Amino acid sequence: MKLVRYGDVGHEKPGLMDGDTLRDLSAHIDDIHGATLGDGTLDKLRNIDLATLPAIDGSPRIGPCVGNVGKFLCIGLNYSDHAAEQGLPIPEHPILFFKANSAIVGPNDDVVMPRGSKRTDWEVELGAVIGKTCKYVSKDDALDYVAGYCIVNDVSEREFQQNLTGQWTKGKSCDTFGPTGPYLVTRDELGDPQALDMTLSVNGKRMQTGNTATMIFSVAEIIEHLSHLFTLHPGDVISTGTPPGVGDGMNPKTYLKVGDVMELEIAGLGTQRQEVKQDA
């Protein structure tokens, strides 16, 4: 299934895609969030006769594909060629940082650079959304705890990240710096998360081209590692790293400016499009 949240900011409704038709799920669940991502609920949704669900006319705003996210966890330097372009060694263990949940926006909402931004950058990433409580799991069982997958743009302000002293979180958590969606594609529909082509373009120019097969730590390995540090809860989002081609790795370094348009795609997970604005 491709689950979708649609509607105005803060008032999104649950839906799913029936081919190219968006259908409303409000009669069956109140939202797409941790409490509705368990296997039992997802199985019930799979058994619904889609023709009985109301079709949504027009082109409503698409919101983040998961609501009420508990933790927004991110893995840094998880592609060997990205680590190389940054001039950094391959990590021995997954590098963990957090994005503030207030960064989360819909897949086509504007990205707004904060005051003082000098080096705002792009990062296409595969997101994995936890579907059931996860503690001390092995990599062999880890994917059974995933409800589904989505696209995340891990927008990053490199000046804040690198030069404000402290955690990467400072440069990762600005408002609108976490476009998520459009779909939450359930794990049964997506299949192997380690074989997905991914791209990001700015103003129509390809910047990032990669495949999740080149991750240093697979989704399963990441979940195993994190679940041995703390409990993962339904609705937690894990953004699993970005391939090469970020602006900070270019020569000369290249960053976003007002009016730029980012377009992202991961095979099977849809597309995102964001226009860059400046905070007042």
The CATH code of the domain that includes 253 is 3.90.850.10
The answer to whether residue 64 is domain-embedded is no
274 and 150 belong to one structural domain: yes
For residue 58, the model assigns a pLDDT of 94
34 and 129 belong to one structural domain: no
The answer to whether residue 110 is domain-embedded is yes
The answer to whether residue 133 is domain-embedded is yes
For residue 97, the model assigns a pLDDT of 96
E strand residue ranges, 43-119: 72-76, 95-98, 104-105, 111-113
Ramachandran sector of residue 235 (left: φ over 0; alpha: ψ -120 to 50; beta: rest):
left
43 and 143 belong to one structural domain: no
The answer to whether residue 60 is domain-embedded is no
For residue 135, the model assigns a pLDDT of 98
116 and 151 belong to one structural domain: yes
Report how many domains make up the chain.
2
Helix (H) or strand (E) holding 3, with range, is: strand 2-6
- Model pTM above 0.85: yes
The answer to whether residue 253 is domain-embedded is yes
89 and 144 belong to one structural domain: yes
Distance, in Å, from the CA atom of 279 to the CA atom of 91, rounded to the nearest integer, reads 35
The answer to whether residue 176 is domain-embedded is yes
112 and 231 belong to one structural domain: yes
For residue 258, the model assigns a pLDDT of 98
pLDDT mean by block of 10 residues, the chain; 280 residues: 97 97 98 97 97 96 98 94 81 96 98 96 98 98 98 96 89 97 98 97 98 96 98 98 95 97 98 96
Show the tokens assigned to 90.
């391959």
Distance, in Å, from the CA atom of 141 to the CA atom of 160, rounded to the nearest integer, reads 37
The answer to whether residue 232 is domain-embedded is yes
Which residues span the domain enclosing 47? Answer: 2-52
271 and 232 belong to one structural domain: yes
The answer to whether residue 102 is domain-embedded is yes
